[in-house]
């Protein structure tokens, strides 16, 4: 059993101030924050501290272990230095660096292997030690960062759009991870993925989405996969979903960049990205992909390649069945019987079905089903 932290606020304050008097303000704020987290953890529990301060469980326990081991000394909570133990120092003579600048300005975008030939001759004439290719490469990088040499851009012209794109210096996408975020209401987290089917050299793509809280699903088939089509899928999903969407989680496929990511930004929907090679973090949609393939896509595979529009019409009927009639293992009624996602959603929010913007709720079979729900 881990001991409780010191309950005397006055003693803790004196202990902290003794150490605080000689440390920078930023470190003081870090120490105060960590003590606050530990006090919250001891008063309300570890799970409450994780939710309140967005700090991992292992980090909180490591702070607590150090704090208790030091007999509640605030010094033990000082953040450790992140500076590397060994820092590489450039040993290239400044004459060599000047020669690199001269050669790059004279001959253009020469690489390190080509520069080495010229620099070996220069070093021999100047009686300087030879420089390795890797050292030349690091020197070029430093000179670029300082703006001492020009940076050449490769561009590509798209005839379809008339736009010129920079190939080498793409704007880096800042990927936000889910990192413990757990949805509390429908629409808080929707996972999206794609299933690819191949036959006789022809590809078909079924994009699917599932709500984490209610297991409400939607799918649509496309003949090509790109960010334009996945952006169109978002518009269709928002039209049929009976709730507003605040967070979407996807893998790192190219179809989820570009227009798709811009669409989410314009709609103020937060985009969570999976870690590469970790489909387990998108577990719900991966499991739905298996179900949809086993129960509908594979039995209708011929129609998918012959007439994709007719396939989507048939897919809409199957989704109506999936969301309104098919029992789902994750949802139970008061008798512990499995119920479909739409009924679980109605039970969860006590939704007035007349206000639902889900298109298939206006179909005759769904209205009969909803009438049956209200009468039970």
pLDDT per residue as tens digits for the range 295-326: 999 999 999 999 999 999 999 999 988 888 88
Instruction: Report pLDDT for 59.
Output: 92
Residue 207: pLDDT over 90? yes
Q: Record the pTM.
A: 0.55
Report the mean per-residue pLDDT for the chain. 81
Instruction: Report pLDDT for 367.
Output: 53
The torsion angles phi and psi of 205, rounded to 5 degrees, stand at -125, 120
Instruction: Report pLDDT for 353.
Output: 44
Residue 369: pLDDT over 50? no
Instruction: Report pLDDT for 52.
Output: 82
Which runs of consecutive H residues, i.e. helices, occur in the chain? 9-20, 25-44, 46-53, 57-69, 94-107, 112-126, 133-146, 227-240, 258-266, 283-292, 301-306, 308-324, 341-349, 364-375
Residue 338: pLDDT over 90? no
Summarised one tens digit per residue, pLDDT across range 259-306 is: 999 999 999 999 999 888 788 888 899 999 999 999 999 999 999 999
Instruction: Report pLDDT for 160.
Output: 61
Summarised one tens digit per residue, pLDDT across range 1-35 is: 344 444 555 555 455 455 445 555 578 888 889 99
In angstroms, the Cα distances linking 24 to 19, 29, 37, 106 are 11, 9, 20, 49
Of all residues in the chain, what percent carry a pLDDT higher than 70?
80
3-state secondary structure of 166: strand
> What is the spatial distance between Cα 294 and Cα 277, in angstroms, rounded to a whole number?
24
Mean pLDDT of 144-165: 72
Question: Residue 204's beta-bridge partner residues?
Answer: 197
Mean pLDDT of 338-357: 62
Mean pLDDT of 211-230: 92
Q: What is the DSSP string of 174-202?
A: -PBP-TT----STTS-EEEEEEEEEETTE
The most confident of 81-85, 152-156, 203-207, by mean pLDDT: 203-207
Instruction: Report pLDDT for 356.
Output: 47
Q: How many CA atoms lie within 13 A of 367 on its CB side?
A: 6
Higher per-residue confidence, 327 vs 191: 191
Instruction: Report pLDDT for 376.
Output: 44
């Amino acid at each position: 059993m881990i001991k409780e932290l010191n309950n005397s606020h006055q003693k803790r304050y004196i202990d902290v101030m003794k150490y605080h008097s000689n440390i920078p303000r930023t470190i003081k704020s870090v120490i105060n924050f960590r003590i606050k987290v530990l006090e919250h953890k001891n008063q309300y529990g570890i799970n409450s501290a994780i939710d309140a301060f967005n700090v991992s469980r292992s980090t909180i326990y490591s702070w607590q272990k150090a704090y208790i081991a030091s007999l509640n000394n605030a010094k033990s909570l000082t953040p450790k230095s992140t500076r590397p133990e060994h820092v590489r120092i450039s040993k290239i003579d400044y004459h060599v660096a000047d020669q690199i600048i001269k050669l790059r300005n004279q001959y253009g975008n020469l690489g390190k292997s080509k520069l080495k030939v010229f620099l070996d001759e220069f070093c021999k004439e100047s009686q300087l030690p030879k420089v390795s290719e890797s050292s030349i490469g690091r020197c070029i990088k430093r000179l670029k960062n300082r703006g001492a040499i020009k940076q050449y851009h490769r561009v590509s012209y798209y005839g379809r759009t008339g736009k010129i794109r920079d190939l080498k210096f793409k704007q880096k996408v800042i990927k936000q991870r889910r990192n413990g975020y757990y949805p509390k209401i429908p629409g808080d987290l929707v996972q999206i993925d794609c299933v690819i089917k191949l036959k006789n050299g022809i590809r078909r793509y079924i994009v699917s989405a599932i709500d984490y809280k209610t297991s409400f699903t939607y799918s649509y088939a496309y003949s090509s996969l790109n960010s334009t089509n996945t952006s169109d899928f978002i518009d269709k999903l928002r039209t049929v979903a009976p709730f507003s969407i605040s967070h979407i989680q996807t893998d790192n496929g190219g179809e989820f960049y570009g227009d798709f990511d811009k669409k989410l930004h314009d709609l103020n929907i937060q985009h969570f990205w999976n870690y590469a090679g970790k489909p387990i973090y998108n577990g719900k949609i991966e499991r739905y992909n298996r179900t949809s393939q086993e129960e509908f896509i594979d039995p209708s595979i011929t129609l998918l390649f012959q007439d994709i529009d007719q396939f989507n019409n048939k897919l809409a009927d199957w989704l109506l069945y999936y969301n309104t009639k098919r029992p789902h293992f994750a949802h139970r009624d008061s008798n512990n019987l499995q119920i479909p996602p739409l009924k679980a959603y109605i039970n969860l929010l006590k939704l007035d079905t007349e206000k639902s913007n889900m298109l298939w709720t206006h179909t005759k079979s769904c209205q009969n089903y909803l009438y049956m729900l209200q009468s039970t």
